[in-house]
Amino acid sequence: MPKQVTVRLTEVAKSFGETRALKKCNFEACSGEVHAIVGENGSGKSTMAKIMSGVLNADAGEALILNERILTPLDAKRIGLATIFQEVLVADEASVLDNLYVGCDSFFSMRTSTEERAREAQALLDRLVGHPMDLKATVGDLPLSVKQWIVIARAILRRPKVLILDESSAALDLDATLRLHEEIDRLRATGSTVIIVTHRIAELVRIADRATVLRDGVTVGQLQKHEITEANLLALMTPADRRLSEAANTSGRASQGDRTIVLKASDMIAQRGGAPFNFTLEAGSIVGVAGLDGQGQDAFLRAVARILAPFGGDVHIRSEDGNEMAAVHSLLDAARLGIVYVSGDRKREGIFPQQSIFENLAIGIYRRNLGPCGVIRKSELRKTFAREVDRFRVKMGSSQNRITSLSGGNQQKILIGRAFANDPRVIILNDPARGVDLGTKRDLYRELRAFADRGGAVIYLSSEIEEFLGFADRVDVFHGGSVFRSLRAHEIEEEAILAAMFGQSKAEIVEFTTERKVH
């Protein structure tokens, strides 16, 4: 089959307000190939996928799919492009079958009969999910993993000429990922173009024919199949200055001397069905928490901060005088005993978008700055505010401006300042560096290390493995709802963490990544 260019992006740029998500993006994919788009978080991969599928339109440059311009998802559907988005987009109220065939019809008339659809859908879902499915079931009652399959099946049922998968395997386990890969192979064999957007290197090494690498909104290189190796990819993904700076940024580990335990979680069951596990946090240490999405690490952090009650087990923290361990039973306990939680999901769990920068930082400390009759002592708050703004070098205009006037990184600094203002003893950060620039990250690492050196303790969840390197004193990797492996300082390296995230030893992951290259 002669290869034709099916997707072509020329000099595409896209901005969201201040943020330039894509600066200069050139891309080309052919029929009958699996083409990967790789890059770190925030490098513009998802924006690129959204432009290709017509959800977003480019500010500059040209995006052609099968020689046509795509302006809306309807255009995309018409010419045979299907996209599986990062979010699991399903209608909870409707049946599985309705969810699978949404948008398949023209405005009033149906293209195929319901019976035909049911047969086709049943065959595909049985193959994908691995167990028989009831097509009449209401989607809202189904677990997340099945919803994910519904979204994937919806796209495959369109028999797309171009299929885009935007981080779609995130919620799938290894076995399921392999089934998805089989399906991708099948589509490639029929001459379709499959574009996978991912930051899971192992996955793309296994399946991609070509890979395009994005860095800070610019396409920096294209690799042919034989060139797709972890080393090549990492070299392209990481800018040279950054590698240097990260080495320089190694802020030193905790001193080996005093190792009193400040926080202890025993027999924790963070996620339904997870095995119970223990967790300890020593004074002066920074513990990294990693895992693929939905493996219980997020629930664990919330349980320790008591934002959610765990399914089992309890959390104890050393009391202020250091002699006994006090149980943490509620959010109020956590706050009283000096545990603070910082979310990386700024929009939903962080900022108050209608409030000023000042109020956003001060909201957590009103209670401890009350004068007579409960009147808030503004002058104290201003001092704290100035201290935290200074500490994190927040770039801002007036403190009375709305917080949304700040860039994402500066918003995050304010939120972390809110946590510091509470004089905590344990800081729990849930992926705080998501969508944050390098300078902010560096400030954050430095301050967290300083905090630990003063005797505090940090739990740091990140979805980017690189963040732990040279920073964490220990990394606990979650898999299947509990800690799968706990890596000591000298063991912390990219492959080891990645392997543990997949629930495998390091040797196995190397095999996984090379399996395809052998063929």
Burial class (CB within 10 angstroms; exposed 0-12, middle 13-18, buried 19+) of 361: buried
Q: Is 108 in the site for another protein (CB under 8 A)?
A: yes
Pairing of strands 60-65, 5-16: antiparallel
Please list, residue by residue across 320-339, b when 16 or more beta carbons sit within 10 angstroms of its beta carbon and e when fewer do: eeeeeeeebeeeeebbebbb
Closest CA to 516 of 225, 191, 164, 213: 225
Of 57, 103, 130, 332, the one binding another protein by CB under 8 A: 103
Footprint on residues 28-67 left by another protein (CB under 8 A): 53, 55
Of 5, 60, 71, 110, the one binding another protein by CB under 8 A: 110
Closest CA to 286 of 317, 320, 252: 252
Of 1, 2, 17, 107, the one binding another protein by CB under 8 A: 107
- Closest approach, Cβ 204 to another protein, in A, equals 24
- Closest approach, Cβ 162 to another protein, in A, equals 14
Taking the C-alpha atoms of residue 49 and residue 6, their distance in angstroms, rounded to an integer, is 14
- Closest approach, Cβ 428 to another protein, in A, equals 30
- Closest approach, Cβ 98 to another protein, in A, equals 6
- Closest approach, Cβ 89 to another protein, in A, equals 4
Q: Is 106 in the site for another protein (CB under 8 A)?
A: yes
In this complex, which beta carbon is closest to another protein, that of residue 7 or of residue 150?
150
Cβ atoms of 509 and 202 closer than 8 Å: yes
Taking the C-alpha atoms of residue 200 and residue 169, their distance in angstroms, rounded to an integer, is 9
Site string for another protein, 135-164 (x = CB under 8 A): -x----x------------x----------
Taking the C-alpha atoms of residue 352 and residue 363, their distance in angstroms, rounded to an integer, is 10
The β-bridge partners of 5 are 30
- Closest approach, Cβ 306 to another protein, in A, equals 24
Q: Is 515 in the site for another protein (CB under 8 A)?
A: no
In this complex, which beta carbon is closest to another protein, that of residue 103 or of residue 439?
103
Of 66, 94, 220, 331, the one binding another protein by CB under 8 A: 94
Q: Is 113 in the site for another protein (CB under 8 A)?
A: no
Taking the C-alpha atoms of residue 416 and residue 450, their distance in angstroms, rounded to an integer, is 14
Of 91, 144, 189, 386, the one binding another protein by CB under 8 A: 91
> Which residues are CB-neighbours of 95 under 8 A, at least 6 positions away?
135, 136, 137, 138, 139
In this complex, which beta carbon is closest to another protein, that of residue 102 or of residue 189?
102
Piece of the chain touching another protein by CB under 8 A; list 100-108, 262-270, 330-338, 417-425:
100-108
Q: Side chain identity at 144, as an amino acid letter? A: L
CA dihedral 221, 222, 225, 231 (to 10 degrees): 10
Q: Is 489 in the site for another protein (CB under 8 A)?
A: no
> Which residues are CB-neighbours of 249 under 8 A, at least 6 positions away?
442, 445, 446, 470, 471
Q: Is 195 in the site for another protein (CB under 8 A)?
A: no
Piece of the chain touching another protein by CB under 8 A; list 25-33, 108-116, 248-256, 417-425:
108-116
Number of C-alpha atoms within 13 angstroms, CB side, residue 195?
33
Taking the C-alpha atoms of residue 507 and residue 496, their distance in angstroms, rounded to an integer, is 9
In this complex, which beta carbon is closest to another protein, that of residue 154 or of residue 418?
154
Q: Is 76 in the site for another protein (CB under 8 A)?
A: yes
Taking the C-alpha atoms of residue 267 and residue 263, their distance in angstroms, rounded to an integer, is 14
Footprint on residues 371-400 left by another protein (CB under 8 A): none
Binding residues for another protein (CB under 8 A): 53, 55, 72-74, 76-78, 83, 85, 87, 89-94, 98-99, 101-103, 105-110, 136, 141, 154
